Structure 1
């Protein structure tokens, strides 16, 4: 799929996240000074790429999967364009230009493997982004709204200008993880394999999972073991980042990174 690309053993796979914008207006009824102060606090608290690396899954952390760090531009260059504005968040989700831009993002690719590390068709990408303010919630809501509005499909061009057409966008049952979640399936007119997107928000962190399968397009799903493992690392990282009172802090740090 040219609209969703990630190199896994030289196989074209999937894309990344995005969504619709954050207006930056802050809480309702807040004064201009309060809003400015909240934005400054967000900027201070927002982790950088180095801190967000702690949520990345290890190469063999989830049994049965080969997981690798994705390079810049894994979802292609440029900004995808959709035929209607209401479908834009879906087009954004298949590209690499994030709107709104997160404070930090890490990307991993995965492929299901069998004996002797042979690839078995299922492949995809995980993108974890940390947002300031309501960016994560707004991004997920924009994607949910677009999925409903564009259920009958939409046309788009990738950032490289390649035409793509999806004949349907189906909303699936989301996983019971995080604060809220969304799962959708996009049926590509020209490709035999569908594209799956699952988004899970935990606080200001948004994890996006993308998957496709060339060997089992009808039965493809995003593996629950990957979902659970990734969200567990996000919860662990959030707990580690939370301030602790001196009286509550243990003498010995017994918390361990789930990656070992």
Structure 2
């Protein structure tokens, strides 16, 4: 589903900080903050809600849930050129974005263990395009096949086929170890005008469950009784299509 909204939501104008005063009465207060509030309100209207995607529950991330999940600080990511990859792994706003909102989608099918986080980010047009360029470069860099971010070590970073939709898209996968488990992520970032949408699908690979699944399959155990977590997570096309469609619709209001 190809959706192109070159001037989606007027976010570039909303975040410019130009125009609008208080008639020269000296009472103007932090116009940048007012612009960010306006941009956030527009993103909220475009964000997915319950009922927008069949067979998925939609939850809004609270401010408490985002505490400690800020964008990576300068010098924390090593190599530094891999920072764009890490920035898209949090439900927080990267430095050059003006506003953001996030949603978490989980399947109503209990056998589906993948969750998908969707983050809408408002940028200026030039910054949006530059962010995609640096992100695309990082996914292809051999130096970023493995990188560190604070206490996390990401491995197996590889570019992936990107979906058709928006003005351009970048997709990559990566993983990090958590004891005996492997946290796996597939990230797809779509640009539509000056708005970026980061889709992050995640699941956990459990070696013991995978072994049990293999044994169950060999024994003829029906698939519904297996854990089904051996496959890499994927961003569902239905989620991408629904979010792009809602973004386009919000831009017409």
TM-score (norm 2): 0.68
Say which SS state the counterpart of residue 107 (structure 2) adopts. Answer: strand
Residue 164, structure 1, aligned to residue 156, structure 2: no
- Please give the alpha-carbon distance, in whole angstroms, between the structure 2 residues aligned to 1:219 and 1:89: 22
Is contact 1:177-1:200 (8 Å) kept? yes
Task: Return the offset for 1:119.
Answer: 6.5
Aligned residues: 194
Pairing of 1:114-193 with structure 2 (within 5 A): 114=109, 118=110, 120-149=112-141, 150-157=143-150, 163-190=151-178, 191-193=181-183
Shift of 1:98: 3.0
> 1 CA distance for matches of 2:163 and 2:71?
29
Instruction: Give secondary structure in 2 for the equivalent of 1:63.
Output: coil
Alignment pair present for 1:66 and 2:66: no
Structure 2 residue runs of 5 or longer lacking an equivalent are 1-15, 20-31, 205-227
SS of match in other structure, 1:194: strand
Superposed displacement of residue 188, structure 1: 1.9
Structure 2 residue corresponding to 1:226, chosen from 205, 221, 239:
239
TM-score (norm 1): 0.67
Alignment partners' CA distance in 2, 1:206 and 1:104: 11
Is 1:87 matched up with 2:75?
no
Q: Deviations over 1:164-188 (max 9, x none)?
A: 1122211000000100001100122
Q: Which moved more, 1:86-95 or 1:71-80?
A: 71-80
Q: 1:91 and 1:220, CA in 2 relative to 1: closer, same or farther beyond 3 A?
A: closer
| Structure with greater helix share of residues | 2
Cα distance, 1:144 vs structure 2: 1.3
Runs of 4 or more, structure 1, over 4 Å off, are 43-47
2:105 corresponding residue in structure 1: 110
In structure 2, do the counterparts of structure 1 residues 156 and 100 end up closer, same or farther at CA, with 3 Å as the change threshold?
closer
Contact 1:39–1:133 at 8 Å: present in 2 too? Answer: no
Secondary structure at the aligned position of 2:238 is classed as helix
Using the TM superposition, give the Cα deviation of residue 62 of structure 1 relative to its aligned residue in structure 2, in angstroms. 0.7
Higher radius of gyration, 1 or 2: 2
The structure showing larger relative contact order (alpha-carbon pairs under 8 Å, at least 6 residues apart) is: 2
Structure 1 residues 217 and 154: alpha-carbon distance in aligned structure 2, compared to 1, 3 A threshold: farther
Quick one: distance in 1 between partners of 2:86 and 2:67? Answer: 12
Is structure 2 residue 6 aligned with structure 1 residue 51?
no
CA RMSD of aligned residues (A): 2.5
Counterpart for residue 18 of structure 2? 40
